[in-house]
Amino acid sequence: MGRLDEIVDKKVTPGDEICVIEEFMAGPGTYEDERGWVRSAYIGVTVADILARTVAVKPYVRVPELPRKGEYVYGVVVHVKDEYAVVRILSSATGRRFRDYYTGIIHISQASDKFVRSLFDAVREGDIVKARALTTRIPVNLSIREPRTGVVVAFCSRCGALLRYRGGKLVCPECGNVEKRSVSAEYGVLKGLI
């Protein structure tokens, strides 16, 4: 066992050398540096999977569980400007709830596959959107360019009633107001948890 005893149950801090890549590959809580060393990304204790030949770090503190790159998420639009919108990310579209709320940004270039003059034409404050995470750092860059993404629930900007999607338009059943949005093909259907 010799070398394995030196790798497993070792207390580490960020940047500490754990082993070389030839011994074990980098697992969760670790990374490989440019010289081929597996290093710790967290403060914690090392654990090894002998069969998979990976080493990981079990952190002492709770590590935030961010949306993964490419993952679909639900969020509420909390602020809109002409070039970007700020979204409070609530959950993944698969129902995985995040322990914390994260901020997402929809840039105007990610609002639609068609030309959008202003982001107010794509989303409004209070809208619930389904978006794809483009990054894993905060704020999370989001995209609503795909047909499955976009506004899934919208409210009338005049009276606050839930808008209905009819004939390619969002129509208010209470006051008759017609509004523009970048509407998801799944409008009105919330899959997963919010």
pTM over 0.75? The answer is: no
Give the pLDDT band (50/70/90) at residue 2: very low
Write the CA distances from 61 to 27, 29, 36, integer angstroms: 18, 12, 27
Domain count, the chain: 2
pLDDT score recorded for residue 126: 93
Q: In terms of domains, do 19 and 90 share one?
A: no
100 and 77 fall within a common domain:
yes
Q: Range of 10's domain?
A: 2-59
Residue 86 covered by a domain = yes
Whether residue 118 sits in one domain with residue 80: yes
- CATH code of the domain containing 53: 2.40.50.100
Higher pLDDT, 68 or 114: 68
The whole-angstrom separation of Cα 170 and Cα 162 is 10
Question: Both 98 and 143 in a single domain?
Answer: yes
Q: Is residue 64 part of a domain?
A: no
Q: Which pLDDT tens digit goes with each residue over 14-64?
A: 999 999 999 999 999 999 999 999 999 989 999 999 899 999 999 887 767
In a domain, 54, yes or no: yes
**Which of the four pLDDT bands, split at 50, 70 and 90, describes residue 190?**
low
Do 102 and 136 lie in one domain? The reply is yes
Q: Does residue 76 lie in a domain region? A: yes
CATH of the domain at 116: 2.40.50.140
